[in-house]
Structure 1
């Protein structure tokens, strides 16, 4: 196992032992790479807006404890298992938190976040990949790491690079989720897609991705100031329109129809928006044969116009997260300059010891470009 003898015996990690008590920084044994995995030095771990609610039990996500929390991250490989044939120590990688069973890909879970809905996924999380990226080091499945072209991404612009910071690269995690849904409905260049709600972090990221894919975007949201900011910040001018969600379904439909035939609707609403009028408004403005991607976090059933969907041959797609090949394609978009991450400038950066400040900061930052990372 390459460079294993250079690893420290101990490392700092944030450990959660109970949702009724806050986590604490502890000194724990450094994990070791095994068959099918590598050890990564965590450089920038993403902090999502509802991190506090995940780990204080408010969201009631199932996961084993004790656990080292964390989400997707950017890291550097420090040691690899004996079966690694591509990755090597020193490589800069994107660490994906969506872990799948090798012998049954339907057993899929979010490492250190949610053990998912099958016994196999729960077993794999509990027994193998329980701990994650809010630590100095993380043991990661080989297939959950995507090699990044460090020279291209972080190199100076004078040398042909994009000059991105490590924390900006962490935004790959933010755009991956909507990319999974947009790719699933085969969104193509030149098509028009409604994205709603678009004023939150995932919705705003979806707008950025859809524009990079060549689509025309109609962004919907309740906060008109956030919509205006979103439109102003986008690096692809001329292909984004905004429509406010007013709660008046007839008026909202009329506004959407001003922009001509609509090919797709992408929904990524938060749990509390399950009864929002925007869902039906967006569906009722779709052209014949249009597609719908449902990626919202709704816990309740949502109202859909059945007769309209049936007669218009509308196709409904449900998508949880993304597929492994989506990661490779998205990274190529970034490395080739198709998806411009230089838009992401407002990054809150915190050391591991300031995990609480990082979680609080993320809860307050709801804009798509307001990235927060922990840098252990």
Structure 2
């Protein structure tokens, strides 16, 4: 089969033929129809993100495809089923504290690296081998829509945070990082879940205006000034009531003061979910006042990725017409042009923009 192979950090992907994956028990081979190219893929491939990866490797984080073959433990999947290839691979030998790797992308710790060495190659290829539980059916779709369904890859991340926060219909949410790729997807997802209002702070005025244009008065935008106390009060003031939940999705380049301004806008007894990248490249830690957390009964939790059932739930939101994939502007590249796709994704990131490879 043909694949794009990352052989060395800092070098272009090599488009070459390689052996097709061989299936084992507990595994599924999927014909890849469309694979998303993350906007920061270039930073992974050049080593800037310092991700744990075992080279050479076929990269690619998630995909939409059709089942080619499945193992004897698969009781529902059948050949030709449309599936989302969930890149979040969990070890199966400890349900309490599983090791995790993002197939074709990154690992976490030594256990994650061991897992990556088996589920090694990602989706920039004509076929991919994944764990049975990671081939999640999405129902029949038109082949022409497969690239747009890759938006699942983006929307599932904030959806995982909202589910972890037990976010409820009728609540008010503040999305820290609302003008980014994941943040804008969070705004759309929260509204689909029945949010009363989403507070969307940011510095990018055109992006803020675009959120308002797309979603109307249920989104209240705030132009950040950089003054932590002033920004916090303005976020609170624009909300139609106390802010029930804050989710942070800011990138590594953001400051901890920007995070704290949003986090501490939450109401007493409120919830905070941290899902961004602040601090991953070094710098200050997030300093939150102990008395404020304790006396106001604030719940603060981290969340990485999402639970497996989130895929099925989000597919239901899309099928019901509550979450519109039409928001996403998709640019597709052939597998032969994977390097051009990576460059395009880096130059054209941001809200509701998506680059995909179509093997």
Distance in 2 separating the partners of 1:197 and 1:59? 19
> What residue is the counterpart of 1:159 in the other structure?
none
Structure 2: which 5+ residue stretches go unaligned? none
Distance in 1 separating the partners of 2:49 and 2:157? 19
Kindly indicate whether residue 190 of structure 2 is the aligned counterpart of residue 206 of structure 1. Answer: no
Q: Pick from 305, 308, 316 the counterpart of residue 289 of structure 2.
A: 305
> What residue is the counterpart of 1:100 in the other structure?
90
Distance in 1 separating the partners of 2:214 and 2:142? 22
Kindly indicate whether residue 356 of structure 2 is the aligned counterpart of residue 373 of structure 1. Answer: yes
> What residue is the counterpart of 1:184 in the other structure?
164
Aligned Cα root-mean-square deviation (Å): 1.5
Counterpart mapping for 1:324-363 below 5 A: 324-344=308-328, 346-363=329-346
Distance in 1 separating the partners of 2:11 and 2:207? 35
Q: Is the partner of 1:131 in helix, strand or coil?
A: coil
Distance in 2 separating the partners of 1:342 and 1:202? 16
Residue 189 (structure 1) shift:
0.6
> What residue is the counterpart of 1:7 in the other structure?
none
Give the TM-score taking structure 1 as reference length. Answer: 0.90
Residue 306 (structure 1) shift:
2.7
Whether the aligned pair in 1 keeps the contact of 2:10 and 2:45 (CA below 8 Å) is: no
Residue 116 (structure 1) shift:
1.0
Kindly indicate whether residue 146 of structure 2 is the aligned counterpart of residue 166 of structure 1. Answer: yes
Residue 361 (structure 1) shift:
1.0
Kindly indicate whether residue 225 of structure 2 is the aligned counterpart of residue 246 of structure 1. Answer: yes
Whether the aligned pair in 2 keeps the contact of 1:290 and 1:315 (CA below 8 Å) is: yes
Give the TM-score taking structure 2 as reference length. Answer: 0.94
Identify which range, 330-339 or 11-20, moves more after superposition: 330-339
Residue 154 (structure 1) shift:
3.9
Alpha-carbon displacement from aligned partner over 1:166-216 (angstroms, at most 9, x marks no partner): 111010111000000111011111100110111110111111111111112
Whether the aligned pair in 1 keeps the contact of 2:211 and 2:219 (CA below 8 Å) is: no
> What residue is the counterpart of 2:306 in the other structure?
322
Whether the aligned pair in 2 keeps the contact of 1:274 and 1:302 (CA below 8 Å) is: no
> What residue is the counterpart of 1:123 in the other structure?
114
> What residue is the counterpart of 1:141 in the other structure?
131
> What residue is the counterpart of 1:273 in the other structure?
254
Kindly indicate whether residue 276 of structure 2 is the aligned counterpart of residue 284 of structure 1. Answer: no
Q: Is the partner of 1:272 in helix, strand or coil?
A: coil
Whether the aligned pair in 2 keeps the contact of 1:279 and 1:304 (CA below 8 Å) is: no
Q: Is the partner of 1:194 in helix, strand or coil?
A: strand
Distance in 2 separating the partners of 1:297 and 1:249? 19
Whether the aligned pair in 2 keeps the contact of 1:154 and 1:165 (CA below 8 Å) is: yes
> What residue is the counterpart of 1:25 in the other structure?
15
Distance in 2 separating the partners of 1:283 and 1:337? 31
> What residue is the counterpart of 1:264 in the other structure?
245
Structure 1 segments of 4 or more deviating over 4 A? none
Whether the aligned pair in 1 keeps the contact of 2:107 and 2:113 (CA below 8 Å) is: yes
Kindly indicate whether residue 198 of structure 2 is the aligned counterpart of residue 217 of structure 1. Answer: yes
Distance in 2 separating the partners of 1:331 and 1:359? 27
Q: Is the partner of 1:230 in helix, strand or coil?
A: helix
Distance in 1 separating the partners of 2:259 and 2:6? 37
Distance in 2 separating the partners of 1:305 and 1:37? 47
Structure 1: which 5+ residue stretches go unaligned? 1-10, 156-163
Alpha-carbon displacement from aligned partner over 1:288-335 (angstroms, at most 9, x marks no partner): 100000001122411223322221111001001111122221122212
Distance in 1 separating the partners of 2:222 and 2:289? 21
> What residue is the counterpart of 2:47 in the other structure?
57
Residue 103 (structure 1) shift:
1.3
Q: Is the partner of 2:267 in helix, strand or coil?
A: strand
